[in-house]
Amino acid sequence: MKLIICENYEEMSRTAARIAAETLLRKPDALLSFAGGETPLGFVHRFADMVNSGQIDPSRAYYVSLDEWAGLSREDEGSCGLFNQKELLGRMRIPFLQAHVINGAADIEEECRSLDGFIAAHGPLTLSVLGIGMNGHLGFNEEGVRFDLNAHVIPLSETTKRVMPKYFGEKFHPEYGISQGIRQIMAAETVLLLASGEHKANILREAVRGDVTNQVPASILQTHPSCVVVADKAAAAML
């Protein structure tokens, strides 16, 4: 694992966007995947800015979303689909050649099959940009997840259920998540793990310095041949 410690959230976001841009310049037909949530918001905005200013051209590249709350559609407030549309795809003046965004309101087993199909057709992932959950989850690969799965539906952990109102208040009460599997994430050429804020310091230490265990799913990234952790000072405080 390579570790880049940034002064603050803004620098973390710009650093990650620079790495994503370098990936696209090196491989114009890359398959990119970015997490939703609070952490990557600045990063996806910077990425879209770089598209709009002509620094990078996504028109030959592919994009696939990472995860979704089961039951939420791409229009629902707080959904990963809406995040993708509003914060990334809808901001880009030049679109990706193809973008595949999970629909949590559709038949979720079918959504898993089509996610697998898209990644198989255009993958493996060139770059996966991830956040880390308070329990060390990646996407919705929760504690105890098998590391050899592709896209799957998984019950949300108690920690995730406690945290989820920050995305959509009490409007939705999902019980399951749909997620790319650890197998697909580990097959990515490069993985960026973003972390920001002191509330992530403890779990980031477990993921980066602790044992590799499915009780802290992000710890598997210690065994990835090209994983870069990009954290701000607050999140890196316990490393």
* Residue 195: CA count within 13 A, CB half-sphere: 33
- Closest approach of Cβ 66 to ligand GLP, in Å? 6
- Closest approach of Cβ 55 to ligand GLP, in Å? 25
Is the C-alpha dihedral spanning 10, 91, 73, 98 positive or negative? negative
Question: Which positions ≥6 away from 15 have C-beta within 8 Å?
Answer: 4, 6, 230
Could you tell me the two tokens for 229? 């952790």
45 is known as an active-site residue: no
For residue 30, state whether it binds ligand GLP (rule: CB under 6 A): no
For residue 160, state whether it binds ligand GLP (rule: CB under 6 A): yes
* β-strand partners of 175: none
57 or 158, CB closer to ligand GLP?
158
Stretch that binds ligand GLP, among 11-19, 24-32, 34-42, 181-189 (CB under 6 A): 34-42
Cβ atoms of 228 and 192 closer than 8 Å: yes
Is the C-alpha dihedral spanning 199, 205, 207, 208 positive or negative? positive
> Which of residues 37, 78, 181, 217 is near ligand GLP by CB under 6 A?
37
Chain residues 111-140 in contact with ligand GLP, contact rule CB under 6 A: 130-131, 133, 139-140
* Residue 179: CA count within 13 A, CB half-sphere: 23
Chain residues 65-94 in contact with ligand GLP, contact rule CB under 6 A: 66-67
Cβ atoms of 129 and 34 closer than 8 Å: yes
For residue 172, state whether it binds ligand GLP (rule: CB under 6 A): no
137 is known as an active-site residue: yes
214 is known as an active-site residue: no
Chain residues that interact with ligand GLP, rule: CB under 6 A: 35-39, 66-67, 130-131, 133, 139-140, 160
Active site residues: 67, 135, 137, 142
